[in-house]
């Protein structure tokens, strides 16, 4: 069938017309697309460019190196060590279990490690690296690096972590660091962005905590390019932060070490202070613990062992522990009485071995009595009746006032944790605290540092420094921050008559240097180092009338935790005071037998800047002292323990 030419032409014309119509529609569509493209990439370009950058760029913080803590001579107390660890990124690993199983063949992994890793992975996003093993040796790290091709998602990393090279020596002073906890962040309006880094370590107690702001430094930042799943592609820009400030303490690491070693396994505390400027040369609490355990994450077993030890290694007895000061308090009572004009330096009191006050009989430690006692003798032989007598005349309020002047019952602000205020009781205090009237018996007890009076070894050291100088010395623990010396607090005159102070000092001198003195056996014979001090023995239990009737049981027969505390305060040299010391041995028995010898060794160590010179000891004691010193587990220059290993 052949179509007519006209029909064909007509049909072609219709097709042409409609094709052009469609073409017009297509053109319109192109115009729409072009306009839309113009809108997106010309008009809105800036907005989308910004969005693309936001997509791409992620800002990560670089944790700064934490400031070092050094002793007064620059010896390292807290530093940072390179820490090799292995991390795994879920996104890259694929089959995490298989990779971990392979990794376990390369380096030793405990079931604990694996469980912790699995737990952490459940919490974090798939591209966040999770630490599998921490503190690896260099060899282990190399093994992981070598096997990297068969361990997808696993990468070795180097970071800094806190190290305390003199572990137990400074545990209570410096404290330790640990990961930021919810509690640390509470109450912070705008926390340092560093704190939001997972596992970022901050100071938890001690100097690490109280000087955290100085030690932390400020974060650096790096701008990194990330892909859609957040994986880091490359680093674009890096801005280093500022490392934390280095801190020098007033402590001499050698003296601190000696004090710690000398106290050994006793439950004891020592504070040595420079009386001229308040610098704390040593502040040691025993037994101690290894702060490195806390940085690494202490195990339950270790922690429970520390908690259950009846010698309380975690407690910082130097500032946190408060004890009845016992006879070491007598100087306060005497000075209060002199200041109020109740006695003068020559007043004598007769001691028959006891004193009846308000129908109660108060005993002197020496049942036979001391006879006629003046101020000097009362201190040297530690007569109690002398103080019962003067205390009831001067009254508790005046005694408390003098106590505060000398630094007892007030909080000394040094950057350590849980600093106790102690108790310097007076009438108002008892009314408020116990809602009871102050009774004369309370005064009698307080006069010899018993009853309500409680003070910390730091306070006793401050008291001794103030007695030795007559000025209100303020303790200082931080020598310099970032190279800038910290201010030495002004030590104004306390306004106590020089005559009275002299008498007190000569009494303390007599305590140590006269044969009847309670601490005669702990004297120093080296003429330039001769020292003065006062012993104290404080009861931790009440002696009942029945007990007294049976005769007081000697300390040796009591269980450890009911024995008396042994205390000693002293300063040296006597003519030109340099250091003051306070020692307490919990449940140590007598101050003269447990605390004074220990104090002498530590004081001599401070004076000589190392091992006590044997020449300073009385001839008869030198052999014994020499062998004792030899057995002490002291540290060498690097901080390692030499000599006999510790138990």
Partner 1 sequence: MSFLEYRVKYVPSGLKKVLYLNWPLVVLVTAVAAVGWLALYSIAGGRMDVWAGRQMQVFALGAVLMFIIAFVPIWFWRNLSLLAYLFGLALLLIVEFFGTVGMGAQRWIEIGGFRLQPSELMKVSLVMMLAAYYDWLDVKKVSRPLWVLIPAILTVIPTLFVLMQPNLGTALILLMIGGAVMLLAGVSWWYFAAVITGVVATIWAVFASRGTSWQLLHDYQFRRIDTFLDPTADPLGAGYNIIQAQIALGSGGWSGKGFMQGTQSRLNFLPEKHTDFIFTTLGEEFGFVGVFSILLLYALILVFCYVSALQNKDRFSSLLILGIAVNFFLYLAVNLSMVMGLAPVVGVPLPFLSYGGSAMLVLLVAFGLVQSAHIHRPR
**What is the binding site for partner 1 (CB under 8 A)?**
1-3, 7-8, 10-12, 14-16, 18-19, 22-23, 26, 29-30, 32-34, 36-38, 40-42, 44-45, 47-49, 51-53, 55-56, 225-229, 233
> Is 154 strand, coil or helix?
strand
Phi, psi of 493 (to 5 degrees): -60, 140
Q: Extract the tokens encoding 112.
A: 């604990």
Least separation in angstroms between CB 48 and partner 1: 3
Nearer to partner 1, 60 or 339 (CB): 60
How far does Cα 34 stand from its chain's mean position? Answer: 70
Task: Select which of 267, 285, 286, 327 is catalytic.
Answer: 327
Tokens 């469609």 — which residue? Answer: 22
Residues 47 and 38: their CA atoms lie apart, in Å, by: 14
Q: Which is nearer to partner 1, 5 or 435 (CB)?
A: 5
Ramachandran angles phi, psi of 29, nearest 5° = -65, -40
**CB neighbours of 491 closer than 8 A, spacing ≥ 6?**
277, 278, 469, 471, 472, 473, 474
Q: Closer to partner 1 at the Cβ: 27 or 299?
A: 27
Taking the complex as a whole, the smallest distance from the CB of residue 12 to partner 1 amounts, in Å, to 7
Under DSSP, is residue 532 helix (H, G, I), strand (E, B) or coil? strand
- Nearest C-alpha neighbor of 124 from the set 87, 89, 84: 89
Which residues, including other chains, have CB under 8 Å from residue 299's CB and lie 6 or more apart?
293
Question: Could you tell me the smallest distance in angstroms from the CB atom of residue 97 to partner 1?
Answer: 26
Give the Cα separation of 419 and 312 in Å (integer).
16
Beta bridge partners of 565: 538
Q: How far apart are CA 499 and CA 338, in angstroms?
A: 10
Which of 47/199 has CB closer to partner 1?
47
CA distance 258 to 283: 11
CB of 36 to partner 1, least distance (A): 5
In the complex, the smallest distance separating the C-beta of residue 130 from partner 1, rounded to whole angstroms, is 22
Between residues 21 and 418, which has the closer beta carbon with respect to partner 1?
Answer: 21
In this complex, which beta carbon is closest to partner 1, that of residue 47 or of residue 119?
47
Q: What is the distance between the terminal CA atoms of the chain, rounded to a whole angstrom?
A: 119
CA distance 392 to 647: 49
Least distance to partner 1 from the beta carbon of 234, Å? 10
Smallest distance, partner 1 to C-beta of residue 229, A: 7
What separation in angstroms does the CA of 489 have from each of 10, 211, 475?
113, 18, 8
- Contact by Cβ (8 Å): 464, 569: yes
Structure tokens at 16: 């042409």
Q: How far is the CB of 16 from partner 1 (least distance, A)?
A: 6
CB neighbour burial string for 494-527, b if at least 16 within 10 angstroms, e if fewer: bebeeebbebbbbbbbbbbbbeebbbbbbbbebe
Cβ proximity to partner 1, 94 vs 371, nearer residue? 94
Return the ∠ at Cα 117 (arms to 116 and 119), rounded to 5°.
Answer: 65
Q: How many residues does the chain have?
A: 647
Concerning whether 627 is annotated as a catalytic residue, the answer is: no
CB-based contact 540:620 (threshold 8 Å): no
Cis amide leading into 547 (omega within 30): no
Name the minimum Å distance from CB 222 to partner 1.
17
Contact 67, 243 (CB under 8 A): yes
Would you say 24 or 358 has its CB closer to partner 1? 24
> Which residue in this structure is represented by tokens 């950058």?
53
CB 395 within 8 A of CB 341: no
Q: Which is nearer to partner 1, 29 or 418 (CB)?
A: 29
Q: Give catalytic residue positions.
A: 327
């Amino acid at each position: 069938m052949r179509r007519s030419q006209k029909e064909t032409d007509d049909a072609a014309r219709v097709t042409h017309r409609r094709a052009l119509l469609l073409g017009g529609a297509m053109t319109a569509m192109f115009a729409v697309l072009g306009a839309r493209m113009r809108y997106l990439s010309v008009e809105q370009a800036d907005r989308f460019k910004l969005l693309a950058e936001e997509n791409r760029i992620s800002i990560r913080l670089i944790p700064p190196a934490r400031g070092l803590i050094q002793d007064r001579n620059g010896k390292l107390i807290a530093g940072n060590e390179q820490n090799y660890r292995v991390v795994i990124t879920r996104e890259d690993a694929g089959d995490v279990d298989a990779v971990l199983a392979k990794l376990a063949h390369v380096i030793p992994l405990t079931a604990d490690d694996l469980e912790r890793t699995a737990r952490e992975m459940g919490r974090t996003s798939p591209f966040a690296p999770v630490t599998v093993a921490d503190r690896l040796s260099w060899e282990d790290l190399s093994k992981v690096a070598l096997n990297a091709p068969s361990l997808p998602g696993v990468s070795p990393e180097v970071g800094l972590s806190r190290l305390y090279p003199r572990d137990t020596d400074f545990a209570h002073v410096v404290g330790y660091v640990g990961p930021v906890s919810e509690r640390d962040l509470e109450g912070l309006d705008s926390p340092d962005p560093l704190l939001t880094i997972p596992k970022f370590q901050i100071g938890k107690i001690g100097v690490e905590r109280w000087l955290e702001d100085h030690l932390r430094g400020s974060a650096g930042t790096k701008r990194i390019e990330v892909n859609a799943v957040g994986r880091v592609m490359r680093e674009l820009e890096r801005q280093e932060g500022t490392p934390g400030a280095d801190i020098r303490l007033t402590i001499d690491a050698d003296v601190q070490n000696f004090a710690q070693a000398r106290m050994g396994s006793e439950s004891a505390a020592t504070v040595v202070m420079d009386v001229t400027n308040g610098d704390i040369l040593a502040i040691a609490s025993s037994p101690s613990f290894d702060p490195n355990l806390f940085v690494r994450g202490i195990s339950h077993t270790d922690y429970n062992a520390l908690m259950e030890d009846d010698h309380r290694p975690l407690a910082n007895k130097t500032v946190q522990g408060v004890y009845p000061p016992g006879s070491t308090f007598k100087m306060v009572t005497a000075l209060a009485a002199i200041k109020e004009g109740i006695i003068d330096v020559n007043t004598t009191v007769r001691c028959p071995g006891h004193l009846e006050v308000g129908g109660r009989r108060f005993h002197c430690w020496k049942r036979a009595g001391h006879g006629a006692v003046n101020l000097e003798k009362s201190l040297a032989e530690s007569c109690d009746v002398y103080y019962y007598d003067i205390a009831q005349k001067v009254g508790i309020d005046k005694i408390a006032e003098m106590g505060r002047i000398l630094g007892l019952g007030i909080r000394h602000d040094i950057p350590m944790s849980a600093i106790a205020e102690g108790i310097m009781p007076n009438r108002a205090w008892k009314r408020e605290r116990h809602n009871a009237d102050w009774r004369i018996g309370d005064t009698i007890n307080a006069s010899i540092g018993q009853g309500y009076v409680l003070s910390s070894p730091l306070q006793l050291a401050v008291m001794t420094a103030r007695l030795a100088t007559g000025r209100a010395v303020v303790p200082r623990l931080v020598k310099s921050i970032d190279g800038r010396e910290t201010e030495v607090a002004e030590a104004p005159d306390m306004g106590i008559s020089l005559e009275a102070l002299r008498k007190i000092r000569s009494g303390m001198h007599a305590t140590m240097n006269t044969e009847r003195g309670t601490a005669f056996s702990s004297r120093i014979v080296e003429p330039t180092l001769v020292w003065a001090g006062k012993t104290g023995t404080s009861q931790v239990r009440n002696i009942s009338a029945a007990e007294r009737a049976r005769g007081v049981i000697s300390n040796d027969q009591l269980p450890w935790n009911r024995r008396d505390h042994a205390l000693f305060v002293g300063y040296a040299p006597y003519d030109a005071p340099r250091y003051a010391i306070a020692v307490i041995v919990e449940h140590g028995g007598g101050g003269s037998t447990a605390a004074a010898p220990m104090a002498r060794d530590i004081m001599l160590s401070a004076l000589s800047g190392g091992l006590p010179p044997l020449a300073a000891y009385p001839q008869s004691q030198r052999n014994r002292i020499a062998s004792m010193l030899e057995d002490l587990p002291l540290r060498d220059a690097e901080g390692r323990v030499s000599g006999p290993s510790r138990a």
